[in-house]
A = this chain, B = another copy of it.
Amino acid sequence: MSDDPAGATRRLADSQYLGPPTIWDAEVEQMDEAECLRLISEGGVGRIAYSGQFGLAVLPVCYKLLEGSIVVRTPLGSTTDEDLRTGIRGADYRITFEIDKVDHDAQEGWFVVIQGPAHHVDAHDDLLSAWVPAPRSSDWHTPEHFVRITPAVIVGRRLRQGGRPLPAGE
């Protein structure tokens, strides 16, 4: 890991997307953190990635942006739940969260990548009141679990169709 993870990740994104040809051969512009957070503020489906007991896992999850943190739900006692527990009280697990909205045909869209520690959230935490309003419905008694990702690095890029012609057949 670099001593400057935020800078390093930005350089990663720059080398990926600002040099020709980009992955999409589209114009790419950096987004600042405020723009990234605005785009992902409505919640929806993102993907968590982490190095777990079965290798590198990438799994789509429902998320909400609550008080500047990404909050995702996982089943209590699931493999993800186990994977994200370090076993050390107060210690946490670093994961990557990705959200994108890319129109492949139009070659337009955006993506946001967030790196940060994952903390387990108590189901009664005030943070979750926006997610699961009390009282719950009577059939809602299965244990579940929430994980909060505190962004340490936020990188986002917006893609627009550039003026450069694409190769035939693309």
Which residues of A are at the interface with B, using a C-beta cutoff of 8 A? Answer: 1-2, 5, 8-9, 11-12, 15-16, 19-24, 44-45, 47, 49-62, 72-75, 77-80, 94-98, 100, 102, 104, 111, 113, 115, 131-133, 136-137, 139-140, 142, 144, 164-170
Contact = CB atoms under 8 A, between A and B. Distances in A.
Given A60-B102, A61-B23, A137-B165, A8 B142 contact: no
A80 B22 CA distance: 12
Contact of A24 (B62, B95, B97): B62
20 contacts: A1-B55, A2-B54, A8-B53, A8-B54, A9-B54, A11-B54, A12-B57, A15-B78, A15-B79, A23-B74, A55-B115, A58-B96, A60-B98, A132-B170, A133-B167, A136-B167, A136-B168, A137-B166, A137-B168, A140-B167
Nearest to A137: B167
Q: How many identical subunits does the complex contain?
A: 2
A44 B12 CA distance: 23
B19 A55 contact: no
Contacts of A20: 75, 142
Contacts of A137: 165-168
B5 A54 contact: yes
Ranked nearest first, the 7 interchain pairs of A and B with the lowest CB-CB distance are A58-B98, A56-B96, A133-B169, A8-B54, A15-B79, A49-B49, A49-B58
A169 B137 CA distance: 10
A75 B139 CA distance: 51
A140 to B, nearest CB: 5
A136 B166 CA distance: 9
